[in-house]
Amino acid sequence: MAEFKEAERQHGSMLARMEKKTLVWLAHRTPAAVNSDHLTTLGLVSMMGAGLSYWLAGYEPLIGLPLVVVFLMLNWLGDSLDGTLARVRNKLRPRYGFYVDHVVDMLGTLFLLGGLAASGFMSERIAWGLLVAYFMLSINSYLATYTMGRFQISFGGFGPTELRILLAIGNLALLWKPQVMLFGWTLPLFDVGGAVGIVGMACLLLASIAKNTAQLYREEPLT
């Protein structure tokens, strides 16, 4: 079997430095009985819980929406700490970790946006549009990882942690004002936020494709 070379991780989000220090601190204090697989499982189960909580929020928003915030916090713990724990304990499995982490991310995003679509707080078209935009951005990132040897974790100063925080703030805002006025139209708050998210991810995707294609062409010009 050919030697596997792990891609360079590029993480330049606003909270990346603080988050890294926090995760290392937590990893050193994690009980020995807890391993990275346990944390990965926690990340997936908590996203399933967030999706179910959104569905519940369609009937009981005062219960469901705060539950989503709790599950987002648990997802951050599981999804972010698993790799740090493996590095701190020198129990790295780069191929397994990369593959499983991103399968979990794929399934977790599906559960989360599926729950949002079922909640009534976001229209189905916006939810599935977000899902498609997220998957396209992810596919581009994975292709760049394979062809260029670098894995882009954050875009435009935003990474998974910042997105969880924005979503948690949005949940609390839903309890206060689920509808907003925009250009004379009354629209669901999360439809507006989702539409902005779709446009933002589309712009990031196009910029990344242009940048990566130009770099690859410079490295492999047509002769």
pTM of the model: 0.90
Instruction: Give the number of other Cβ atoms within 10 Å of residue 29's Cβ.
Output: 7
In a domain, 3, yes or no: no
Average pLDDT over residues 2-10: 68
Per-residue pLDDT reduced to its tens digit, 45-101: 999 999 999 999 999 999 999 999 999 999 999 999 999 999 999 999 989 999 999
Structure tokens at 195: 């539409």
Domain with 164 in it: 14-219
CA angle centred on 200, ends 198 and 202, rounded to 5°:
70
In a domain, 9, yes or no: no
**179, pLDDT greater than 60:** yes
In a domain, 139, yes or no: yes
CA angle centred on 111, ends 76 and 15, rounded to 5°:
25
In a domain, 67, yes or no: yes
- The structural domain count of the chain equals 1
pLDDT band at 2 (very low <50, low <70, confident <90, very high): low
Look over the chain and give the mean of its residue pLDDT values, rounded to a whole number. 91
In a domain, 2, yes or no: no
**157, pLDDT greater than 80:** no
Bridge partners of 186? 181
Per-residue pLDDT reduced to its tens digit, 90-145: 999 989 999 999 999 999 999 999 999 999 999 999 999 999 999 999 999 999 99
Query: What does the DSSP 8-state code read for residue 194?
Result: H
Average pLDDT over residues 159-163: 87
Q: What's the confidence (pLDDT) of residue 133?
A: 94
In a domain, 96, yes or no: yes
Name the helix (H) or strand (E) containing 121.
Answer: none
In a domain, 93, yes or no: yes
The CA distance from 86 to 30, in Å, is 11
Q: What's the confidence (pLDDT) of residue 153?
A: 78
In a domain, 60, yes or no: yes
- What CATH code is carried by the domain that includes residue 38? 1.20.120.1760
Structure tokens at 170: 């949005």
